[in-house]
Homo-oligomer: A and B are copies of this chain.
Amino acid sequence: MKTITLVAFDNFTDIDLFLMWDILGRNRHDWRVRIVGKQGRLRSAHGLLVDTHGALAEANQADVVLFARGKEGVPAALAEPDFMNAFQLDPTRQLIGSICGGSFILAQLGLLPGRRAATHPEARGALRAAGVEPDQRPFMSVGNVATAGGCLAALYLVGWVVERLFGAGKSLETLRPVLPAGQYELYEKIIVASIREGRDGTGG
């Protein structure tokens, strides 16, 4: 049973967390997905109150660690020693990823290979200012670290995680239940191509 940890914080962008949560949460046999945060309860950017499942430190033992985004949430988290110091992540034994502005956290944790990341188009200027080169692709992976940009690119990030853990077949099987009815082939082509084109030829 693999463990997948979704890292959140106050003012996380609702969909960035919930999309990964919902897609991964449908499988209760191959992995266990948990939302961790500094507080027992977090408030989303749009004001939803969500109870977390565990402490940030859980991420350090997880097989997979994915960081959500938050326009105000990420800067606040980056400035919080209690938040940043909780992480002792290791890309040699963990799959690590971020959606949109979550890449700023990976950058500050020194986890971005080549200090390059995919992120939300609106965040590219700030990413460059943080010393990270924004990648124009919606998804990019180098080895065990992946970044995605644009909320729905969470499909590519989740697809990559499941493919790395259980193979391409299980990846599509995991995503299919959330795809629009009658358009599976159309979306699966886009998903497979986006994950493949995001690879930097290092086995990622």
**Chain A residues near B (Cβ < 8 Å):** 13-15, 18-19, 21-23, 25, 46, 48-51, 118-122, 136-139, 148-153, 155-156, 177-183, 186-187, 190, 194
Contact = CB atoms under 8 A, between A and B. Distances in A.
A138 B84 CA distance: 42
Number of copies of this chain that the complex holds = 2
A49 to B, nearest CB: 5
Contacts of A155: 180
Contacts of A182: 121, 136-138, 149-150
A18 B178 CA distance: 13
Contact of A118 (B14, B18, B150, B181): B181
Contacts of A186: 190
Contacts of A190: 183, 186
Considering residues A18, A121, A136, which has the most beta carbons from chain B within 10 angstroms of its beta carbon? A18
Contacts of A48: 18, 21, 50-51
Considering residues A14, A180, A182, which has the most beta carbons from chain B within 10 angstroms of its beta carbon? A180
Given A19-B19, A151-B22, A181 B49 contact: no
